[in-house]
């Protein structure tokens, strides 16, 4: 049993030499592809081609016509709004 003299013992673990797996929080996700699908200015996915991003965006826009859906090009910095045909 620990003595009750009012002192506390703190132990610290030594960090390992191996780099651990990087953890991403809810706010920051890894950016993997050039084209990002955004719904109401929030990124929902990233795609390697603009056609794939527009197809996914059109599916969302037809299901939910009130929301703003767009595709953001990270290289050129252009945001394209998707409208149903």
Q: Identify whether 1 is part of a domain.
A: no
Domain extent, residue 49, equals 35-81
Taking the whole predicted model, whether its pTM rises above 0.85 is answered as no
Q: Identify whether 45 is part of a domain.
A: yes
pLDDT tens per residue, the chain (85 residues)? 656 676 776 676 666 666 656 665 666 666 679 999 999 999 999 999 999 999 999 999 999 999 999 999 999 999 999 998 7
User: Half-sphere exposure of residue 17, counting CA atoms within 13 Å on the CB side?
Assistant: 0
Q: Identify whether 44 is part of a domain.
A: yes
Q: Identify whether 24 is part of a domain.
A: no
Q: Identify whether 16 is part of a domain.
A: no
Total structural domains in the chain? 1
């Amino acid at each position: 049993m620990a003595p009750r003299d009012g002192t506390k013992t703190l132990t610290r673990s030594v960090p390992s030499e191996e780099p651990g797996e990087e953890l991403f929080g809810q706010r920051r996700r890894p950016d993997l592809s050039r084209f990002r699908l955004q719904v109401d200015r929030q990124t929902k996915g990233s795609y390697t081609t603009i056609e794939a991003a527009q197809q996914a965006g059109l599916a969302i826009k037809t299901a939910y016509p009130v929301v703003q859906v767009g595709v953001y090009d990270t290289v050129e910095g252009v945001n394209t709004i998707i409208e149903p045909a």
